[in-house]
Structure 1
Amino acid sequence: MKLIGPSLVLILVALAGCGQPQRSPAPDQVGEEAQHEGPAQPAGNNLPFLKVQAIALAAAPGEVVKVDLENDHGQDIYEFKILAPSGRVIELEIDAKTGQILKQEAD
C-alpha cells in the first residue's frame, strides 16, 4: 500500500478545488488511483479542509495516510487515517461543518 504524505494531500486538495465539486466514486468504482486522489470537496458551509485536517492532527499527531469525505444522512463527515509515530493507525471521524471529532480509535 502506498502512503500519501501531508504535502501530497495538500497539493491534491488544492488541485481538486480548481474544478467542480466532486463526490467520492461508488465503492465498485474505486480503483488504485481513486483511493489516492484525496477527499471530495465539501458542500455548503463546511469548514475549509485544511482547518479540519489541523483539528485531526492536533488530536492525533502523525502522518495523514488517507482521507475520505462521506455524507451520512445529510451530514458531511471527514474520515482520516493517521499513521502515529508509534506505528499505529488512528482513525478519526470529524464533522465537516463544526470540526467536532465524532469518533477516534486506534487500529
Structure 2
Amino acid sequence: MNLLTRLLAITALASASLIAHARDLGPDEALRLRDAGTIKSFELLNQAALAQHPGSRIEETELEDEYGRYIYQIELRDPQGVQWDLELDASTGEILKNHQDD
C-alpha cells in the first residue's frame, strides 16, 4: 500500500469516527435522560434560549449526543423575522452558541 493510499484510508476512518460520535436522540431516550436528571427539562432549556431573544418563537429543537456531551439545538425566529441558531449544554443549560442564521 503506497503512502497516498494509506493517508486516504486514515482520513476516511477518521471522518467515519467523527460522524459516529454525533447522533440525534429520539424522544424516548431524551425523556429518559431528563427523568434521570442527566439533562435539564426542555421547558428550562427553551426558557434559557428564549431569554436570549425576547419575543421570539421556537421553530425547531433537537437533542444530540456529541462526544458524550448532550447538546440541545434550537432554532428561533425573532419578531423581526430573523432566525437564530442556539446550542445549549443540555446538562447545565449553558449557552454554547448563539448566532444569526444566514
Residues 54-105 of structure 1 show CA distances to partners (whole Å, capped at 9, x for unaligned) of: 0000012200000000111001111000010111100000000000000010
Q: CA RMSD in A?
A: 2.2
How far apart, CA to CA, are the structure 1 residues paired with 2:59 and 2:49?
Answer: 12
Which among 48, 57, 60 is matched to residue 55 of structure 1?
A: 48
Name the structure 2 match of 1:101. 95
CA contact 1:40–1:69 (8 Å) conserved in 2: no
One-letter code aligned to 2:42: F
Name the SS for the 1:41 alignment partner: helix
How far apart, CA to CA, are the structure 2 residues paired with 1:67 and 1:90?
Answer: 12
Which among 61, 64, 67 is matched to residue 70 of structure 1?
A: 64
How far apart, CA to CA, are the structure 2 residues paired with 1:102 and 1:70?
Answer: 14
TM-score (normalizing by structure 2): 0.64
Name the SS for the 2:47 alignment partner: helix
Please list every run of at least 4 consecutive aligned residues from structure 1 whose deviation after the TM superposition is greater than 6 angstroms: none
Identity %: 30
Structure with the larger strand share: 2
Paired residue total: 73
Residues 3-50 of structure 1 show CA distances to partners (whole Å, capped at 9, x for unaligned) of: xxxxxxxxxxxxxxxxxxx924xxxxxxxxxxxxx7962524211110
Which among 23, 45, 49 is matched to residue 25 of structure 2?
A: 23
Structure with the larger helix share: 2
